[in-house]
Structure 1
């Protein structure tokens, strides 16, 4: 089953938008907390972990923002490469998915 991005259920899309907005708020608060932490314990592994968390949180925010943007412009659910519909199962697992499975595999090389 695929999500036809041209005729997607508006109720489902509204629920998804609300869920993504909530995730965005959570990730933004996490990013703020991570950037405000200035406690240098002198432990290089802690600094490395904090840096990795910052990168992951920023990536999450970018993915959520991208999905919200695609919802707004009506392209959510369409593969950015082949323009075919992304399977609904994939979007349920990865709501920020930009590519169908085949194009994602090619994109990852």
Structure 2
């Protein structure tokens, strides 16, 4: 367990378990999504149908690609958070070096910036 500036504590073992579970779930969702996308594209090649069918299949494939991209990004963020747990930098803001609030880490365990630095970065976009 590690304590942070505001007196609250974050149980790193519990966080690691949660991150591993989320990572494994995300990887499984990615596998299922890839299978569905592959089946969808195979169906599109085998059953061309009419223009409306082709348009529907293209739209479905595009939606699958969007979901796959989101799941891939989530898996990468979770993997990086697990790495930060191992190297001791978990919960430390990459910009200012201060502890990230435990409440933020509970909601977004992949967070790499404290709220203030995240807001500053978003304003700068």
TM-score of the superposed pair, with normalisation by structure 1: 0.84
Paired residues, number: 104
The reply to whether residue 60 of structure 1 matches residue 59 of structure 2 is no
CA-to-aligned-CA distance 1:6-63 (integer Å, 9 cap, x gap):
xx968x1111111111111111111111122222353232112101101110011011
The structure that is helix-richer by fraction is: 2
Give the structure 1 partner of residue 19 of structure 2: 20
The reply to whether residue 46 of structure 1 matches residue 54 of structure 2 is no
Give the structure 2 partner of residue 102 of structure 1: 116
- Considering Cα pairs closer than 8 Å and 6+ residues apart, tell me whether 1 or 2 has the greater RCO: 1
TM-score of the superposed pair, with normalisation by structure 2: 0.74
Tell me, yes or no, if the aligned pair for 2:9 and 2:102 is still in contact at 8 Å: no
- Give the structure with higher Rg (CA): 2
CA-to-aligned-CA distance 1:50-90 (integer Å, 9 cap, x gap):
01101110011011011101110011110011101111111
Tell me, yes or no, if the aligned pair for 1:4 and 1:77 is still in contact at 8 Å: no
5+ residue gaps, structure 1, are none
Give the structure 2 partner of residue 36 of structure 1: 35
